[in-house]
């Protein structure tokens, strides 16, 4: 088996590349190179990374079905876990940088700022997916129930895009690009369902 079709090689490639942005952020923080507002930089970077990995998880099924790239399926869990990893980093940066570790001020902020509420809901929806990502949990829940639960991915991606859109003030280019990507990936799934019923 060549390394191109070796799933262990794919996993290692993904492990290293998924971790690289975090390593660069930590390294730049250590060098004091995160710009004038490091908290804002890290919050934004981790937020975008969480959303990118969410979109990548949604990309796996269409790529498998359209191009027969079935090897991607084995990597989907790790891609999803990276979305969760950057989501946790995003939340921690918010709690440390924005809330100054005052955890009791978080519920107040959720009620005051709607974009925080949307982000928080999206993040909380990620928790059951991460918690049920092990083989043992898939076995315990059964494939059908597990797949149903993991459709929450759609809501998380939509929530992430709405959260992003609510933050930007004038230039909506990036949230719009994510909205188009998520829209196309969900439209693909809808089209497959409609074809199945018809
Ligand atoms: C845990 C709950 C969450 C909180 C408290 C939160 C909070 C924040 C805050 C304070 C910002 C920066 C706003 C600014 O700079 O004005 C932000 C930006 C962002 N967040 Fe979240 N967020 C949460 C969850 C999420 C999730 C789950 C995603 C993605 C799936 C996400 C994606 C983003 C994106 C894409 C940005 C904008 C980055 C940019 O401006 O370039 N957030 N979030």
Which tens digits make up the pLDDT trace of 104-159? 999 999 999 999 999 999 999 999 999 999 999 999 999 999 999 999 999 999 99
- CA 31–ligand 1 middle distance (angstroms): 24
Structure token digits, residue 18: 């998924």
Q: Whose CA is nearest to atom 28 of ligand 1?
A: 160
Residue 91 pLDDT level (bands cut at 50, 70, 90):
very high
Q: Is the pLDDT of residue 53 over 90?
A: yes
Neighbours of 8 (CB within 10 A): 10
Q: What atom of ligand 1 comes closest to residue 44's alpha carbon? A: 38
**Measured distance CA(130)–CA(5) in Å, rounded:** 27
When the pLDDT of each residue in the chain is averaged and rounded to a whole number, the result is 96
Q: Which of 143, 132, 153 is nearest to 83 (CA)?
A: 153
Q: Is 51 in the pocket of ligand 1 (CB under 6 A)?
A: yes
Residue 3 pLDDT level (bands cut at 50, 70, 90):
low
Q: What percent of the chain has pLDDT over 70?
A: 97
How high is the pLDDT of residue 1? 53
Q: Whose CA is nearest to atom 19 of ligand 1?
A: 47
- CA 44–ligand 1 middle distance (angstroms): 6
Q: Is the pLDDT of residue 173 over 70?
A: yes
**Measured distance CA(76)–CA(94) in Å, rounded:** 27
User: What is the phi/psi pair of residue 33, to 5°?
Assistant: -110, 30
Q: What's the pTM?
A: 0.95
How high is the pLDDT of residue 169? 86
How high is the pLDDT of residue 176? 98
**Measured distance CA(110)–CA(153) in Å, rounded:** 22
Q: Is 90 in the pocket of ligand 1 (CB under 6 A)?
A: yes
């Amino acid at each position: 088996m060549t390394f191109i079709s070796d799933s262990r090689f794919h996993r290692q490639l993904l492990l290293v590349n998924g971790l690289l942005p975090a390593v660069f952020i930590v390294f730049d923080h250590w060098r004091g190179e995160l710009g004038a507002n490091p908290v804002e930089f890290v919050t934004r970077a981790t937020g975008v990374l969480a959303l990118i990995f969410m979109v990548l998880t949604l990309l796996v099924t269409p790529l498998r079905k359209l191009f027969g790239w079935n090897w991607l399926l084995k990597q989907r869990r790790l891609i999803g876990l990276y979305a969760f990893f950057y989501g946790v980093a995003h939340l921690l940066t918010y709690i440390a940088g924005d809330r100054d570790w005052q955890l009791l001020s978080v519920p107040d902020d959720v009620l005051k700022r709607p974009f925080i509420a949307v982000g928080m809901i999206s993040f909380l929806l990620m928790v059951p997916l991460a918690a049920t990502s092990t083989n043992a949990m898939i076995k315990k829940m059964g494939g059908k129930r597990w797949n149903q639960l993991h459709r929450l991915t759609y809501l998380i991606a939509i929530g992430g895009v709405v959260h992003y859109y609510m933050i930007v003030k004038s230039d909506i280019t990036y949230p719009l690009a994510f909205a188009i990507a998520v829209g196309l990936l969900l439209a693909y799934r809808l089209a497959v369902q409609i074809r199945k019923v018809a």
